Structure 1
Amino acid sequence: MEASSATAQSMHHITNAKLTALSKQQKSYEAKKKRIHEAVAEETTPSKKVRVLLDAFAVHEIEAPAHISISNVIRFMEQRKHDSSVSPSLVHDWQLTLEQALDVPSRKYEHALLFGRLVTEWLANPNDTPLGAGSRESGDSFEHIGRKEMHDQRETWESLVFDMNIKSDPAAIEAYLGKLFGSTSKSTKLSKTPLETMRQSINSFHPGKVTVDVLKLCITAMLKTDMLSKAKRTALGDFRNNSMILQEMVDVLNLQLDALDSWSWGDGPVNVEVRRALNGKYRVYMDEEIIQALLLHFVGMSWAVYLKIRFNLFFHSGAWQQSTRSPMDGRARLKRQNYGLDVAPHESVRNERQHRYNSDYFMPQLPSSFYDVRDQYNDERDEDKGDPRNAIDVKQSLLHLISAETAVNTQLHGSFTVLQSDFKWFGPSLPHSTILTVLRFFGVSLQWLKFIEKFLMAPLKFVHDGPNAQTQIRRCGVPIQHRLADALGEAVLFCLDFAVNQSTQTNLHRMHDDLWFWGSLNASIKAWQTIQEFSAVMGLALNKEKTGSVHILHKTKSASGSILLNKLPHGRIRWGFLILDSTGQWQIDDEQVEGHIRELRTQLEACKSIFAWVQAWNIYVARFVANNFGEPAICLGRPHIDMALEAFEKIQQKLFDTDDLPSASVTEHLRGKLAVRFGTENMPDGFFYFPVETGGLGLRNPFIPLMVLRKFSSNDPTELIDRALELEKDDYNKLKKQYEEGNLMLSGRPPSLGEFISFGEYMQCPEETSKYLKVAYETLLRAPAADLIKPASGASRSTVGEPCQGFNGPYYQWLFQLYGSEIVRRFGGLSMGEKRLLPIGLIDMLKEEKIKWQV
């Protein structure tokens, strides 16, 4: 990595100073140790040798072994002068222990120097290219290289974005929206319909003023994205810590906000760059001038937050439908009330579903406030950042919801249907005419419509094509990772959410433009018809490769040849690397995994340093692959965990098995690299996996998180539903008995109701009435309890415990117990080097830089 900022240069100098000081200390200690050994060798008896060693430990302040007390040994040696029961063998053991302890600082110094060399290697060999991956430049000539997939996807992107003929029919959209939202009639207590209220509020929108605090939030949010170039990201990071520059920027931004009517992209084009994501997709990023980018981010955040508020108010206005699969009719409600039974308690599956939908899947791309600085396009969760619920959390919860709903619906209703689709190239293919028509329908003012149209029609130039690249105007689609683009896309898709809700009385679950619907077969058919109609009206195309459905039956039922199934798309249901089969079980798609093994090998081979290799492994294997296998949950059961363990085993075998090292592991592979590059051999396993703060490489072990949760996972999660139904049966029998004995006190009950309500009537709609089912539903969505590994007998916290603050929890407990004993033997504790001598600060800075994957 090039030290392009004052911070980076300072960290580089500090690291060099640490390594220089470390080398001097090592030489000083080795000279001291040599003198101690020489003094010990001159003595003739074990007792005298031990006394020399004890004096040396005291004079030179050498750390004693964890399992021995120097002060106690001194006392015992005094005792030996008079007591022959202190045997020569004991004295000999003390001598060996103290001599071995002299080697521990030597190992720590050697390790710290190796660690420093590894960091220096990373600093000197960045895993990116100055022009962006896939380009090279020599003088005036410019040559573009890269994979065929990159060129194909860029060609498709350009064919959409620069096509003046991709349009929709505003009149048809107006008619469609008028019919859809015309159903939201006002209640007797309201002077306006929910649509009229929303339109009036949106028409009066104003973004307000930029403040220093808001600007800092904008900078933080932009630094979390891949939008700007490295140089601009570095500059933004420096600006964030300079109060004078921040105030100047605030003044400029507020002046520009006052003159939005005359805003433009400026005289020159905006550079765009193609970058590869881990999922194999190539995305085109704009690299705007910093002030321009900050202005657009502020405006985009203002619009996004405001629309989230307005759409939420509409959601809770009564216009949105909320129903269960088999809703309770009025007669059944009245009968339950007559018997004093709850009709629709707050603690029900029905309400829990609605809460989760509103929290995670209603307008998921829109932030709730400026403090929401998450990057919703980032599928690489950083576990060390403590970020709030983000895109990957929502994606995981979707998998768990589908699995839990499968268990509930098949047990209660005997069948369950899941529908999946998404829009083909949604961002680049979204017609500007569609966006502007929808915004106009929702009451956006003419001033803002003109600004948004100018924002959409950006002049673009591919930086890959060199200085003479052609400038073209965007005619279709929205730019990626712009908050204003998120707001525009979500405004259009809000109409789809509402349309599906109105046609099915339930909800479309959505992440970006990925569409998921589940429920009865009839409701799924209606949802699919609604999605198709919406797509045709809005000028969008559905992605056939990501469109499919599955009809799941309870294990006691046999498949039928229902002609209704032909009204649904026939593709497979996919989530990450998983495929949902007709039994309701998820299976790993081996073909996808094979492709990523090949890709992972390419990315790892491109790494020019050990630390870069480890970082690539951690992100690709321990995050990306692990996330796409799905995080364990009770609804997925133990078979899912075992399936993921087997898959990781295959990945490691296929990556590292060679003729020279059959069945080699990731640690053996890295040992080989260390031996070749640094002449270092026989490194303990813990060195690779321990945190960098302890002197380790911080390699993530993908097996441990699965093993931690395996013990308390269930082989058959549907047993929870069966148990809930059994508890309801018990409650019913108790209530019936009390009624028949005359002991059931019913408020307002007529004198004679005849026989007690039947069990079928009692359980007509458990999703609305059963507290036990709600508990089972919530339990299915949780992760299994962690298997907290216990320290070995006799091990103390000082020997095999936490090496430093912040490394607790089941993963690290397992890690330290698995690998800790060897580290303790070699280094006297779990830290392999003194933290003050390790370049931890530089590593933290290097880890902050996003990896640019090889294209």
Structure 2
Amino acid sequence: MASRVLRDVTNYKRSQLADRRKTFEERKAALLVVAKASNDPISTLADGLKKLGLKSTTATTQYGGFSLSNLRSMLKQATFDASIPSALPSAWRADLERLLDIQSNKYEYTDLFSRLATEWVDKPNDANILLDTRFGGDSTADSSDTESFESVQVGRDEMYRQRQEWDSFVFTERQTDTDAIEAYLTNLFVEPQPKKKVRETAFESLHRQFRDWTMEDRECSSQDVELAIKSVLKADLLSGRKRDELIALGDAGKGVLAEIADVINMEIANLGDWSWKPSPTPAQMRKQLNGKYRVYMDPEIHQALLLQYLGTHLAVHTKTVFKTFFRSRAWPKSAHTAMTSQDRARHEFYLGRKKLSFQDSLLFARREQFKDDFFLTQLPETVSEGNRDYNGSDDSHDEDSDKKSPLEIKQTLLRLGTTELMVQRKIYGSFTLCQTDFKWFGPSLPHSTIFAVLKFLGFEESHIEFFKKYLSMSLVFPQDGPNAEPRTRRCGVPISQTLSDMFGETVLACLDFAVSKATSGRCQLYRFHDDVWFWGQKADCEVAWEAIKKFTDVMGMALNEEKTGSVHVSDNGEKPSSTLPKGAVRWGFLVLDPVEGRWVVDMANVDLHIAEMRLQFAQCRSIFSYVQAWNSYMGRFLGNNFGQPANCLGLQHLDMIFSTFKYIQKKLFVDDDNVTGCEDVTSYLKSVIEERFGTQDIANVFLYWPVELGGLELRNPFIPLMTARENSVKEPKDLLEAAFERDEEAYDEAKRAFEKGSSRTIADVPKGCDAETFFSFEDFVRFREETSAPLKTAYDDLLDGPGVSGLEYTRFVEYALKSLPLEYRHSKHIKPEFVAMDVYWRWTVQLYGAEAMERFGGLGLGEKEMLPVELVNLMRSERVRWQG
């Protein structure tokens, strides 16, 4: 296992570090004794430093390094020059002794970092032990660390409740009326043809492309295997030993990957004979950060790679086909009040334009954003993109992809809903927003529904037979004991597999089309997997809701009542709909206030998560695991679920988050019992490290500095908020007010131009227009969503985030960065050039850089070659396993 190899390397480094540190401290003590007794202590110290190799504590002299040659010259001058004060040599001596202390600090913190890394490997959390042990993993924990295995096996009541409900869906066949599904889809997709056409209809083209797709003619390469490995790791499908083996496989070289590609090609050539091997497939329950449990399959590595390869190619093809259908005339795309050709002619006549610019319209912005961010967003655009990782944690992000991550999509959904509320409320005086999702969508999706949809769309029967084998796997939960009976899946799709994503998205793409068609494009489903949002005017939302209910009934699915609700905001006294679902509209920890029309924090939900955080932090058996849990919870999960700073949310929302974070920290560490004796995470970690390892007066910079520079990389959740606060919009509605004012100015300008223009002949005047009288302002703004460029600009601005700003760039920070030692210049976070750094790390350097320079002589906190950075990075690459 990679972790064992790196652990052995770390042990070797620690032994070497111990020898170096012991030798240095002995020489340091001897040097100080000699210098104290010397008639020329400064020269003695200088000579001793040179012998110890401490010419500089920072890179070279040109970047701020300490020059011993300069010191000698100044000492010689002091023997002759009476103008040099006597206190100055004393200061020089103190600086030389400080260099010795700095080196001692480096050795001490390198050793501390190494011990903390070793602790992380030796003392895995109970959740990690359970996952690895249940599936044959060779956990690196000592025997003493596994003594609690039996006690933690009991688990939590909520896990067992969700397991029973999962079983009730997955192992029970749910038959649906396939004839009714075919009739429904026929009515939805197939347009009546009054006369014979030579060209294909949009649906005929879609049907043909699915029918002609085949798996057998594909040739898997070593590069395809490499991409599949990355995707399986990103999906977090495998854990423990298998995950380690997969990482090692990815580094094995093209020769080994080519061998695996050959095996995959042989399996594809005989796909009709494929089956799950070995069988049954183990299954495991994992607790998620949001408190829910999900069941993951644990297939053999070669099976996971084969299915990932096939799933990715099929998913890319599916998205391409549906995107072509979306761009066709079959998919309705309309504003709330669409212009007719006569309306367009009137606008162009009065405004003196040959053609209105569609790309400058709000309608165009809506269509493009829907297509790019929400249409089949779970499916990859390209093979190299791999899986879209819907179930990924909030800290997961594929930096190599130019597509929005799942987290960014979620944030965009919040911003879109908020912006549309403001825009439509301003234009129409009212706005309706609805939310729902499907109850246990993955486990409850009927197999008969999947196959009926695929067959209707054109998939060959041989492919459907393969899909049936894939979905009808035999499962066993090792946690049920050695005598557990395997059971065959009868319903639902496996989680974190791209082939499953393709099934789900294909079925739900039919829902997307159904709603758009029913509302003539006035409502689109802003859907992220099975989380469904739609909005607009009340009447359109009512039609959309009926379409959703009809689809749900025909497909044999069920809506989740707990996550279904609607909010109606009206400035003209219009009452909410009696047919739309009742219930609150929620996003993360936010609830939409129907009276104020803004998002507020659900404090009851926050309190529940504080209790959960205490439980999870308490099970962290190492400092690094605590830091990782803190970063996931406080550094990302909570901040992301309050809504990242956005212009549409404004300064009031940002200050609300500040207050909530302050409340959370106080409740975490200063509860009624105050069991920790600390008031914040900094003092808590310092106290624990001192208790376990004996290191006193721990530097703050050690906690917050990046790992590759010798720190623990604890995230500060306040910094991202602070960087956005100065530029946050105080009143978001003012952006719309300004856009409406610009429309008025544009009308006045166009009217003056019209009235100054030459008279027109009757032939030049479209029907319904007056050649002498300019049209009214009401007519000018009647179709704002299609004609107002200022409105589109305001819409884009509201969706955007405030510009980030850091602290002032000082000469000291410039000096500190320029003096970054050469061996640290490839750091991912802290770089010699200030502008090349992320704003979070610019802020962090401003906060803690001075302490780093004072205690460590530079921004590197330890001896680079002795730091077990790769071991820590390997441990950090696996997602946090939450105690359940």
When normalised by structure 1's length, the TM-score is 0.94
Query: Cα–Cα, structure 1 residues 688 and 479, in superposed 2: closer, same or farther, change >3 Å?
Result: same
* 1:849 and 2:849 matched: no
Please report how far the alpha carbon of residue 59 of structure 1 lies from its aligned counterpart in structure 2 after TM superposition. Answer: 4.1
| CA displacement at 1:746 relative to structure 2 | 12
Matched, 1:235 2:264: no
Which one of the candidate residues 760, 780, 789 is aligned to 1:771?
789
| Equivalent pair of 1:686/1:820 in contact (CA under 8 Å) | yes
Find the counterpart in structure 1 of residue 209 from structure 2. 201
Q: Which residue of 2 aligns with 1:72?
A: 70
Tell me, in whole angstroms, the C-alpha distance in 2 between the residues paired with 1:725 and 1:469.
68
* Structure 1 residues 664 and 670, CA gap change in structure 2 (3 angstroms): same
Q: How much has 1:218 moved relative to structure 2?
A: 1.1
Q: Tell me which of 383, 386, 389 is aligned to 1:375.
A: 389
SS in 2 for 1:539: coil
Picking from 827, 833, 843, the partner of 2:856 is 827
Post-superposition Cα deviations, 1:422-481, rounded to whole Å, max 9, x if no partner, equal 010111111111111111111111111222122221111112112211111111111111
Match of 2:154 among 140, 145, 154: 145
Report the secondary structure of 2:648's partner residue.
coil
% same residue: 39
For residues 711 and 262 of structure 1, do their structure 2 counterparts lie closer, same or farther at Cα, with a shift above 3 Å needed? same
**Which of 202, 220, 228 is the aligned partner of 1:218?**
228
**Residues 281, 297 of structure 2: 8 Å contact kept:** yes
User: Which residue of structure 2 lines up, in the alignment, with residue 399 of structure 1?
Assistant: 414
Q: Distance in 1 between matches of 2:198 and 2:165?
A: 49
8 Å Cα contact 1:57-1:63 kept in structure 2 = yes
Contact 1:421/1:548 (<8 A) preserved: yes
Which stretch shows the higher mean deviation, 743-752 or 415-424? 743-752
Cα separation, 2, equivalents of 1:38 and 1:650: 53
**Are the equivalent residues in 2 in contact too, given 1:57–1:64 (CA < 8 A)?**
no
Cα 1:743–1:50 shift into 2, 3 Å:
farther
Task: Give the conservation status (yes or no) of the 8 Å contact 2:425–2:431.
Answer: yes
Query: Quick check: 670-679 or 727-736, which moved more?
Result: 727-736
* Deviation for aligned residue 1:358: 0.5
Deviation at 1:102, TM superposition (A): 2.1
2:533 to 516, 527, 542: 516
SS for the counterpart of 2:816 is coil
The equivalent residue for 1:806 is 828
Alpha-carbon distance, 1:214 to partner:
0.9
Greater shift after overlay, 374-383 or 755-764?
374-383
3-state SS, counterpart of residue 600 of structure 2: strand
Post-superposition Cα deviations, 1:694-736, rounded to whole Å, max 9, x if no partner, equal: 2211000000000000110011111111111111211221121
Post-superposition offset of 1:748: 8.8
For residues 536-588 of structure 1, the C-alpha deviation after alignment (integer angstroms, 9 at most, x for no partner) is 111111100000000123xxx3544x3x6111111110111111111221111
Quote how far apart the aligned CAs of 1:660 are: 6.9
Offset of 1:92 from its aligned partner?
2.0
In structure 2, what is the equivalent of residue 295 of structure 1? 306
Alignment match of 1:317 (pick from 321, 328, 340): 328
Write the mapping of 1:260-271 to structure 2, written as runs, cut at 5 A: 260-266=271-277, 268-271=279-282
Q: Give the aligned partner of residue 531 of structure 1.
A: 548
Q: Note if contact 1:135-1:146 (Cα within 8 Å) is conserved in structure 2.
A: no
Specify the alignment match of 2:429 in structure 1.
414
- Cross-structure match for 2:284: 273
Aligned counterpart in structure 2 of residue 155 of structure 1, from 146, 160, 164: 164
For the residues of structure 1 that align with 2:195 and 2:677, how far apart are their CA atoms?
Answer: 73
Partner in structure 2 of residue 284 of structure 1 = 295
Q: Which sits farther off after the overlay, 127-136 or 821-830?
A: 127-136
Q: Distance in 1 between matches of 2:866 and 2:788?
A: 61
The residue aligned with 1:467 is: 482
Match of 1:171 in 2: 179
Inter-partner Cα distance in structure 1 for 2:843 and 2:601: 26
Equivalent residues of 2:385, 2:401 under 8 A apart: no
SS in structure 2 at match of 1:580: strand
Shift of 1:124: 0.7
Equivalence for 1:83: 81
Deviation, 1:80, is 2.2
CA distance in 2, matches of 1:257, 1:142: 45
Counterpart secondary structure, 1:279: coil
AA paired with 1:420?
Q
- Offset at 1:663? 6.6
Q: Does 2:107 correspond to 1:99?
A: no
- Aligned-partner Cα distance in 2 for 1:220–1:185: 47
Q: Distance in 2 between matches of 1:178 and 1:738?
A: 53
Question: Please, which runs of 5 or more residues in structure 1 have no aligned partner?
Answer: none
- Partners of 1:142 and 1:466 within 8 A in 2: no
Q: CA deviation at 1:649?
A: 1.1
Q: Structure 1 residues 826, 188: closer, same or farther in 2, change over 3 A?
A: farther
Q: What is the aligned partner in structure 2 of residue 483 from structure 1? A: 498
1:723 aligns with 2:738: yes
Distance in 1, Cα, partners of 2:438 & 2:343: 42
Asked if 2 retains the 8 angstrom alpha-carbon contact of 1:460 and 1:474, the reply is yes
Query: Could you tell me whether the CA contact under 8 Å between 2:704 and 2:711 is conserved in 1?
Result: yes
Distance 1:191 1:118 in 2: 69
User: In the alignment, what sits opposite 1:132?
Assistant: 131
Q: Deviations over 1:320-357 (max 9, x none)?
A: 11111122233321211212245352221111111110
Partner of 1:28: 23
CA contact (8 A) 2:6 2:871 kept: yes
- The answer to whether the 8 Å contact 1:365/1:490 transfers is yes
* SS of 1:247 mapped into structure 2: helix
- CA-CA distance at 1:813 after TM superposition: 1.0
Distance 1:20 1:267 in 2: 44
Q: Which moved more, 1:447-456 or 1:177-186?
A: 177-186
Aligned equivalents of 2:760, 2:498: Cα separation in 1:
58
Distance in 2, matches of 1:382 and 1:482, equals: 17
State how 1:503-652 maps to structure 2 within 5 Å. Answer: 503-504=518-519, 505=521, 506-553=523-570, 557=571, 559-560=573-574, 562=575, 565-582=577-594, 583-652=596-665
Question: Does the aligned pair in 1 maintain the 2:423–2:736 contact within 8 Å?
Answer: yes
What SS is found at the alignment partner of 1:566? Answer: coil
1:753 to 750, 763, 771: 771
Q: Is the 8 A contact 1:461 1:470 kept in 2?
A: yes
Instruction: Please say if residues 399 and 630 of structure 1, whose CA atoms lie closer than 8 Å, have aligned partners that are also in contact.
Output: yes
Q: Measure, in 2, the Cα distance between the counterparts of 1:718 and 1:187.
A: 52
Deviates more, 1:707-716 or 1:259-268: 259-268
1:88-124 CA deviation, whole Å, 9 max, x = no partner?
Answer: 1222222222222221111111111111111111111
More deviation, 527-536/322-331: 322-331
Decide which of 710, 716, 720 is 1:705's aligned counterpart: 720
Please state how far the C-alpha of 1:380 moved relative to its aligned partner. 2.3
Is the CA contact (8 Å cut-off) linking 1:185 and 1:193 kept in structure 2? no
State the alpha-carbon separation in 1 of the partners of residues 761 and 437 from structure 2.
52
Q: Pick from 418, 426, 429 the counterpart of residue 441 of structure 2.
A: 426
Amino acid at match of 1:169: D
Aligned residues: 840
1:371 aligned counterpart, secondary structure:
helix
Structure 1 838/143 Cα, relative in aligned 2: closer, same or farther at 3 Å? closer
Offset, 1:653 = 0.9
Offset, 1:739 = 2.0
Q: CA RMSD in A?
A: 2.6
Q: Measure how far apart 1:61 and its partner are.
A: 3.2
Q: Tell me: CA distance 1:465–1:12, structure 2 relative to 1, closer, same or farther (3 Å).
A: same
Return the alpha-carbon distance in structure 1 between the equivalents of residues 819 and 470 of structure 2: 56
The one-letter code sitting in structure 2 at the alignment partner of 1:152 is R
CA shift at 1:592, angstroms?
1.2
CA pair 366-64 structure 1, distance change in 2 beyond 3 A: closer
Residue type at the aligned position of 2:556: G
- Which stretch of structure 1 is more off in the superposition, 188-197 or 227-236? 188-197
What is the TM-score with the length of structure 2 in the denominator?
0.91
The alpha carbon displacement at 1:291 in A equals 2.3
SS of residue paired to 1:283? strand
Q: CA deviation at 1:143?
A: 10
Gaps of 5+ in 2: 58-63, 136-145, 830-836
